[in-house]
């Protein structure tokens, strides 16, 4: 079976198991920021919920989550991505605080994540404040992450990233030989940054303003009602960021990247991809977990060649 359909089916099967018994949910930590890969995750999750008749009661970013969600009786789902374990302290604190305050009989679902514990203290905090919750389901994206949590989380599953739920991605024809998408954040291993490279597209002013307001709302809860929008309104922001990323990636016949989602989106666009790892092996861990029998148009390099 071809790569795209195999990965879509694997993701679908995993998400069905993760959402077993769930007919409605609150969705939090929506990625209201320029990381277009996280927007791809949000769109994949949303497609799954629509296909399976799951009602999304509220959608919110980490800073704008309505206070009533902390008292919810229906399941609460936290956005998937690559930040479980303390690598991004603000998001970790929001996750842990939710796990501690949510009623004990309310199901908390962590959508597929990669796990990195920067320090032993981060691991202890995860164990004490998050993994200790009884009514908890956690999905992780690679075998290394699964091995880190297998003794910590009782209801733990291994799942592909939600981007696979989008299936084939339509894109414009390439206009140049290659495009280099390089991390410029703390996860970069430094092998790709240069005059030829670009990171995810910058947000336009209105999206930056909305992100800013969300974080202000975290400090000033009186602002949170201003952030409440229906699920479709939030998804339109994700679609804009995702579309901008697709246009950027589509320029190249070959995609060279150290970003997991630039790699996955490029493959789903039908491009050839050359991948270099980031500094916590997020890309190679993912490929080793899922791609061994599939042979996508992907190769890994240690350095980029001119």
Residues of the chain with CATH 3.40.50: 3-160
Tens of pLDDT, residue by residue over 227-267, are 777 899 999 999 999 999 999 999 999 999 999 999 999 99
Q: Would you state the structure tokens that stand for residue 282, as one six-digit string?
A: 């997020």
The structure tokens listed for 256 are: 């060279």
Six-digit token string for 123 = 């691991």
Look up the CATH number of domain 3-160: 3.40.50
Q: Which residues of the chain have pLDDT under 70?
A: 1, 189, 191, 193-195, 226, 305-306
**String of DSSP letters for 124-175:** HHHIIIIIT-SSEEEEESSHHHHHHHTTT-SSEEE---GGGGG-S---PPP-
Tell me the pLDDT of the chain averaged across its residues: 93
HSE (CB half, 13 Å, CA atoms) of 30?
31
């Amino acid at each position: 079976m071809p790569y795209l359909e195999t990965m879509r089916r694997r993701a679908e099967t995993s998400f069905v198991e993760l959402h077993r018994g769930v007919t409605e949910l609150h969705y939090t930590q929506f990625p209201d920021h320029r990381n277009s890969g996280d927007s791809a995750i949000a769109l994949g999750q949303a497609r799954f919920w629509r296909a399976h008749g799951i009602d999304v009661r509220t959608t919110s970013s980490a800073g704008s989550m309505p206070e009533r969600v902390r008292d919810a009786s229906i399941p609460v789902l936290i956005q998937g991505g690559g930040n479980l374990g303390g690598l991004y302290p603000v998001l970790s604190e929001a996750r842990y605080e939710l796990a501690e305050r949510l009623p004990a009989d309310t199901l908390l679902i962590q959508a597929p994540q990669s796990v990195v514990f920067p320090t032993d203290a981060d691991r202890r905090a995860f164990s004490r404040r998050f993994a200790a919750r009884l009514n908890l389901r956690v999905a992780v994206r690679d075998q290394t992450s699964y091995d880190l949590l297998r003794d910590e989380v009782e209801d733990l599953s291994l799942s592909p990233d939600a981007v696979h739920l989008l299936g084939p991605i339509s894109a414009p024809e390439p206009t140049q030989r290659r495009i280099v998408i390089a991390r410029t954040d703390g996860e970069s291993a430094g092998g790709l940054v240069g005059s030829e490279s670009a990171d995810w597209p910058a947000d336009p002013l209105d999206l930056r303003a909305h992100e800013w307001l969300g974080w202000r709302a975290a400090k000033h809860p009186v602002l949170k009602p201003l952030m409440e929008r229906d699920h479709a309104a939030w998804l339109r922001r994700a679609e804009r960021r995702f579309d901008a990323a697709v246009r950027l990636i589509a320029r190249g016949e070959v995609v060279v990247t150290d970003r997991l989602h630039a790699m996955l989106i490029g493959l789903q666009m039908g491009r050839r991809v050359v991948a270099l790892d980031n500094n916590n092996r997020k890309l190679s861990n993912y490929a080793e977990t899922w791609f061994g029998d599939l042979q996508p148009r992907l190769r890994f390099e240690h350095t980029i060649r001119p």
